[in-house]
């Protein structure tokens, strides 16, 4: 199989963003007059929890009626105030992206992160030139797109067949969204997602660390492109 396009989840797949996301949540908790439970914050997997569950770990609990305000405070801080000083690409990712690009493979981000925040991160870190495109829930005018819809839009936009794409992600929802679009998935277990739930979706490939991910890329993508 010749893969021409890599679709990448961002948080927990390309980049370690946990500390900066917690920073925005901590800001919202302070605005609510409390603080997030320390034990809860020690596990980045909790960042995948819905916002109402995260807010339940604010001490003292501000009450269910405060959820909309809490959610908005998180959004405002992450989109406009967060300096993303602790967000970093996982070691080895940048060289992998450059090698893929050198073999004419497109690298495209498909993320649930707001586009304004993603653009600020890519611009401030100098990472924008590593990618051929990106899409976020608010990238499609008039509505907030799901990951299934974002993947479908990228396939349409680039005129590429689903069988020529691989999706790389760290959550079970990544696997399901890719599969709905007829795209095979590489599951990475080093990210923020629940590993048991992730592997229960039977992804085509599994990488437990960056070295294994690089091996998969070399064997399934780069070698195939080199034979063209």
Neighbours of 135 (CB within 10 A): 22
Alpha-carbon distance of 138 to 132, in angstroms, equals: 18
Closest among 147, 177, 156, 166 to 204, alpha carbons compared = 166
196 CB-near residues (< 8 Å, 6+ apart): none
Q: Are residues 75 and 136 in the same domain?
A: no
Q: Are residues 140 and 202 in the same domain?
A: yes
Q: Are residues 54 and 107 in the same domain?
A: no
Instruction: Identify whether the C-beta of residue 135 lies closer than 8 Å to the C-beta of residue 150.
Output: yes
Q: Are residues 48 and 133 in the same domain?
A: no
Token code pair at residue 4: 């021409």
Q: Are residues 147 and 168 in the same domain?
A: yes
Q: At 23, which helix (H) or strand (E)? A: helix 18-31
Q: Are residues 101 and 202 in the same domain?
A: yes
Q: What digits encode the pLDDT tens for the residues 60-99?
A: 999 999 999 999 999 999 999 999 999 999 999 999 999 9
Instruction: Identify whether the C-beta of residue 70 lies closer than 8 Å to the C-beta of residue 62.
Output: yes
Residue-level pLDDT at 145: 96
Task: Identify the weakest region by mean pLDDT among 42-51, 119-128, 152-161.
Answer: 42-51
Q: Give phi and psi for 21, each to the nearest 5.
A: -65, -45
Residue-level pLDDT at 226: 55
Task: Identify the weakest region by mean pLDDT among 154-158, 189-193, 198-202, 204-208.
Answer: 189-193
| Per-residue pLDDT at 189 exceeds 80 | yes
Q: Are residues 199 and 154 in the same domain?
A: yes
Alpha-carbon distance of 195 to 204, in angstroms, equals: 15
Q: Are residues 179 and 118 in the same domain?
A: yes
50 CB-near residues (< 8 Å, 6+ apart): none
Is this prediction's pTM over 0.95?
Answer: no
Q: Are residues 154 and 180 in the same domain?
A: yes
- Residues of the chain above pLDDT 70, percent: 97
* Average pLDDT in the chain: 94
The range of the structural domain enclosing residue 200 comes to: 5-17+87-226
Neighbours of 211 (CB within 10 A): 9
Token code pair at residue 22: 């917690």
Q: Are residues 114 and 165 in the same domain?
A: yes
The CA-based diameter of the chain, rounded to the nearest angstrom, is 61
Return the CATH number at 92.
3.40.50.1000
Instruction: Identify whether the C-beta of residue 165 lies closer than 8 Å to the C-beta of residue 155.
Output: yes
| Per-residue pLDDT at 227 exceeds 80 | no
Average pLDDT over residues 128-155: 95
Domain boundary among 29, 50, 81: 81
Residue-level pLDDT at 141: 87
Residue-level pLDDT at 224: 62
Measured in whole angstroms, the distance separating CA 135 from the mean position of its chain's CA atoms is 11
- Residue of 134 and 192 predicted with greater confidence: 134
Average pLDDT over residues 168-176: 95
Q: Are residues 110 and 72 in the same domain?
A: no
- Residues of the chain above pLDDT 90, percent: 90
Residue-level pLDDT at 147: 97
């Amino acid at each position: 199989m010749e893969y021409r396009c890599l679709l990448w989840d961002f948080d927990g797949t390309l980049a370690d963003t946990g500390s900066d996301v917690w920073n925005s949540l901590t800001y919202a908790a302070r605005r609510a007059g409390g603080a997030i439970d320390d034990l809860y914050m020690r596990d980045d997997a909790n960042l995948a929890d819905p916002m109402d569950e995260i807010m339940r770990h604010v001490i003292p609990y501000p009450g269910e009626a405060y959820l909309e305000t809490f959610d908005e405070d998180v959004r405002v801080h992450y989109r406009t105030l967060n300096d993303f000083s602790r967000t970093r690409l996982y070691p080895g990712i940048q060289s992998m992206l450059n090698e893929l690009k050198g073999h004419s493979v497109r690298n495209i981000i498909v993320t649930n992160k707001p586009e304004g925040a993603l653009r600020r991160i890519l611009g401030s870190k100098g990472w924008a030139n590593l990618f051929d495109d990106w899409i976020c829930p608010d990238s499609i005018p008039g509505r907030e797109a799901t990951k299934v819809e974002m993947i479908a839009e990228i396939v349409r936009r680039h005129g590429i067949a689903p069988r020529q794409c691989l999706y790389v992600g760290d959550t079970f929802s990544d696997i399901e969204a890719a599969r709905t679009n007829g795209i095979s998935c590489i599951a990475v277990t080093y990210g923020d997602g629940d590993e048991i739930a992730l592997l229960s979706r039977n992804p085509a490939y599994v990488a437990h660390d960056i070295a294994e991910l690089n091996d998969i890329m070399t064997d399934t993508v780069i070698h195939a492109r080199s034979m063209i």
